[in-house]
Structure 1
Amino acid sequence: MNKLRISILYSWFVRTITCFLPNHPIFMRLRGFLYSLMMRECGCNFQVSSTVILNSLSGMRVGSNVYIAPNNVFITDDIYIEDNVILGPGGVYSSGDHQFDGESFRWLPSKSKGSLIIKQGSWVAANCTITTGAILPCESVLAAGSVLNRPMHNDRKVYGGAPAKEIGEVKITSF
């Protein structure tokens, strides 16, 4: 078995043995630690909710202080999530595109168009989809229900829509 298949089995195993644990930071860190053992790289304080599905851990790189909310699905073999990122509930992250063989999309293997990158300090709101080749810049927000399917380049911006485009600026709040 290759590393990808082993990481998928390991991910299923971790999810199965920890699914009964509540979504409390202590248990989410434990889940994150267990997942990190099969990842390419992982920082500290990686928190993963119990209903997250992580397929192919072997291609994931995760920074420090990353939080993944419930019901996110990762179907990716090349994703990089930098430090201090929040992923809201219900997201789909996919680094492969299906190919058409003339009759169906079912039989040919998926084809990656590049990495999926979520840069430092960003927030992906609820029910977003991010696909292969997409980049969410530093300290940016992807608005709820958006589809990010290409690289964005301006830091501290709000992106939204399907497909996502720049719709505003991130406002700095002082205490």
Structure 2
Amino acid sequence: MKVKLSILYSWLVKVSTLLLPNIPLFMRFRGFLYSLMMKGCGRNFQVTSTAVLNSLTGLKVGDHVYIAHNTVVIGLDIEIGDEVLIGPNCIISSGNHTFLNNSYRFGKSLRRPVKIGSGAWIAGNCAVLGGSILPPRSVLGAGSVLNKKYEAADSLYGGTPALFIKEMR
């Protein structure tokens, strides 16, 4: 019941703040409103007006996190570290579907945690799937799909599926 209530609350925040301009003051206000139902939230959480955050009860974010336009964050076990930048049109999901009776429609939902390390940057048009870990201070290149756990911090990852490309330092 709490999850359904958080989805309704998320919709209410989105609709009631949609016309506020995307300047830091109002993006922080929107982030504050979302934080009231979240598992945990740090300072200066900024969310643009067109971002969609569902299942707030399973979302935990650190300090100075920014979520850009048209990004969808959905799932019950997502942790985003401090100073994370999430670009436009991204999808972060901790859930997946299973196959049942020749269809994915009624298969049981499979949930696996997602962790985005502090200082990471997820460039535009990326997908971060359940069971993924993006290490601290790492970059996920534009248009990439992260579907596994990586441990090498300060690195660039990219592609579909995302692979280690190089160290950044």
Q: TM-score range by the shorter chain?
A: over 0.9
What is the aligned partner in structure 1 of residue 166 from structure 2? 168
What is the aligned partner in structure 2 of residue 130 from structure 1? 128
What is the aligned partner in structure 1 of residue 148 from structure 2? 150
Question: CA offsets, 1:143-167, max 9 Å, x none?
Answer: 0000000101100000000110111
Letter in 2 for 1:36: S
What is the aligned partner in structure 2 of residue 44 from structure 1? 43
Moved over 4 A (4+): none
Letter in 2 for 1:54: L
Look up the SS of the partner of 1:13 in the other structure.
Answer: helix
Deviation at 1:109, TM superposition (A): 3.5
Deviation at 1:103, TM superposition (A): 1.7
Q: Distance in 1 between matches of 2:14 and 2:48?
A: 10
Aligned length: 169
Q: Structure 1 residue 9 and structure 2 residue 8: aligned?
A: yes
Deviation at 1:102, TM superposition (A): 2.5
Alignment map for 1:62-77 (pairs within 5 Å): 62-77=61-76
Deviation at 1:40, TM superposition (A): 0.5
Look up the SS of the partner of 1:111 in the other structure.
Answer: strand
**Percentage identity across paired residues of the two chains:** 52
Structure 1 residue runs of 5 or longer lacking an equivalent are none
Query: Root-mean-square deviation (CA), in Å?
Result: 0.8
What is the aligned partner in structure 2 of residue 57 from structure 1? 56
Letter in 2 for 1:79: I
Q: Distance in 2 between matches of 1:110 and 1:94?
A: 12
Deviation at 1:170, TM superposition (A): 1.8
Q: Distance in 2 between matches of 1:24 and 1:58?
A: 26
What is the aligned partner in structure 1 of residue 98 from structure 2? 99
Alignment map for 1:108-119 (pairs within 5 Å): 108-112=107-111, 114-119=112-117
Question: CA offsets, 1:73-102, max 9 Å, x none?
Answer: 112111000000000000001111101112
Q: Distance in 1 between matches of 2:79 and 2:39?
A: 10
TM-score between both structures, scaled by the size of structure 2: 0.98
Q: Distance in 1 between matches of 2:44 and 2:30?
A: 10
TM-score between both structures, scaled by the size of structure 1: 0.95
Deviation at 1:108, TM superposition (A): 2.5
Deviation at 1:14, TM superposition (A): 0.2
